[in-house]
Amino acid sequence: MAEIILVRHGQANAQANDEAGYDRLSDLGRQQAGWLGAHLRDTNPHFDRVLTGTLTRQADTARGMGYDITAQDPRLNELSYFALAHALEDQHGIPAPRDATEFAIHLPQVIDHWARDRLEGIPERFEAFAARITEALDEACNAPGRTLIVTSGGVIGMALRHTLGLENGGMAKIMLQIMNSSVHRLEYVHDTLMLGAFNATPHLDIPDRAHARTFV
């Protein structure tokens, strides 16, 4: 059996309007990473390997948790949301969201247009994104022991789409619920990838950390 623990990075720069500006942890994001690392050390700290994408917020979360990174794999990088949002507005007249309520409507629209190949001039096609995530997961399934993957919400959403056979609309809804520094467990048993836990935040469950349960 192989066990894969997926962790979304801590809160990043939520005020950003481009990929580069978003790619750094906030003070709260660093605190979330530290709390999660302490929780893991108190419970089940050992991993046979620790993987991240090449994004700063992913690697800094892993290090903030107290782990040395085994390898940084660009296949674990996030989708290019800002580029997709700009293409959606320019080509289909759907404006970028201004708040969390609008974002909850906007993200499924982005995913729908992207998956139906209705966006031009974007960094990556939907099928290419899906293929790189599933390829990285398949490799982790064939690695013995426990693998920690510190990545992003879109990558985790795609991993769960692959695991559960979700439609793209279901994947978008899953992505909207993935909290910063949340933990998701996949188990590869009898040649089948199964979901063991979703969106767990045990390190944030005590009352004085309720403010730290963030989505963006």
Q: Tell the burial category of 2 from Cβ atoms under 10 Å away from its Cβ (0-12, 13-18, 19+).
A: middle
193, 163 Cβ separation under 8 angstroms: yes
Q: Tell me the per-residue pLDDT of 170-206, one tens digit each, with 9 for 90 and over.
A: 999 999 999 999 999 999 999 999 999 999 999 999 9
Helix axes 168-177, 153-164, angle to 10 degrees: 130
pTM for the whole thing? Answer: 0.96
Residue 1 has pLDDT above 90, yes or no: no
Question: Distance between CA atoms of 210 and 37, rounded to whole angstroms?
Answer: 18
Q: Tell me the per-residue pLDDT of 6-64, one tens digit each, with 9 for 90 and over.
A: 999 999 998 888 899 999 999 999 999 999 999 999 998 899 999 999 999 999 999 99
- Output the pLDDT for position 108: 97
Looking at the chain, the whole-number percentage of residues with pLDDT higher than 90 is: 94
Question: Distance between CA atoms of 113 and 87, rounded to whole angstroms?
Answer: 10
Question: Distance between CA atoms of 69 and 54, rounded to whole angstroms?
Answer: 11
69, 5 Cβ separation under 8 angstroms: no
- Output the pLDDT for position 15: 84
Domains for the chain: give ranges and CATH numbers.
2-78+129-212 (3.40.50.1240), 80-123 (no CATH)
